[in-house]
Every structure is written in structure tokens, then in C-alpha cells.
Amino acid sequence: MAKVMISIPDELLVQLDAEAQARNMTRSGLIALATRREITAPDAARVDQLLASARKALADSGSWSAEDVVAEQRLTH
């Protein structure tokens, strides 16, 4: 396992240590957990961009309802 040296504000370190203690974790364990979550979390800006693209693509698709789509699927399968 690699060791790293980081710099963080003193007040954040106090919060980090308190949270680690509350979770019965080490400081390093909590930093690793938070880093893993941040890296694997969807990027909000990218999600917004994808939603905007989807809305644009659907804008010219006419009107439809989910109920109609489900009913049609039931009839054809």
C-alpha cells in the first residue's frame, strides 16, 4: 500500500478526525472511502449534459405516454 502526504486546512482535519472516530475508522480509511466515492460518483455536469441531449432528442418525437408504450408492449409480446 502506498503512503502519500497531503495538505488540507486545519479545520477540515478536525472534522475528518471527528468523523473517522464517529465511524470507528482510521483517518486513512475515511480518506480512502471518500476518495473512492468521489471518483466513482457520476459527474453532475455530465449527467446534466446527457439529460439535455436526451430532452432535445425527444423534443421532436411527438406526444406519447408511458402507459401507451407499456400497453403496446403487452399486446405485441
Which of the two residues, 75 and 9, has the higher pLDDT score? 9
CA-wise closest residue to 34 among 22, 21, 16? 16
Q: Give the model confidence (pLDDT) of 43-66 as tens digits.
A: 889 999 999 998 888 887 777 788
CA-wise closest residue to 33 among 16, 50, 54? 16
Would the pLDDT of 73 be above 80? yes
pTM: 0.59
The dihedrals phi and psi of 75, each to the nearest 5 degrees, come to -70, -35
DSSP H or E segment with residue 19:
helix 10-22
Would the pLDDT of 18 be above 80? yes
d(CA 1, CA 23): 22
Q: What is the pLDDT of residue 64?
A: 77
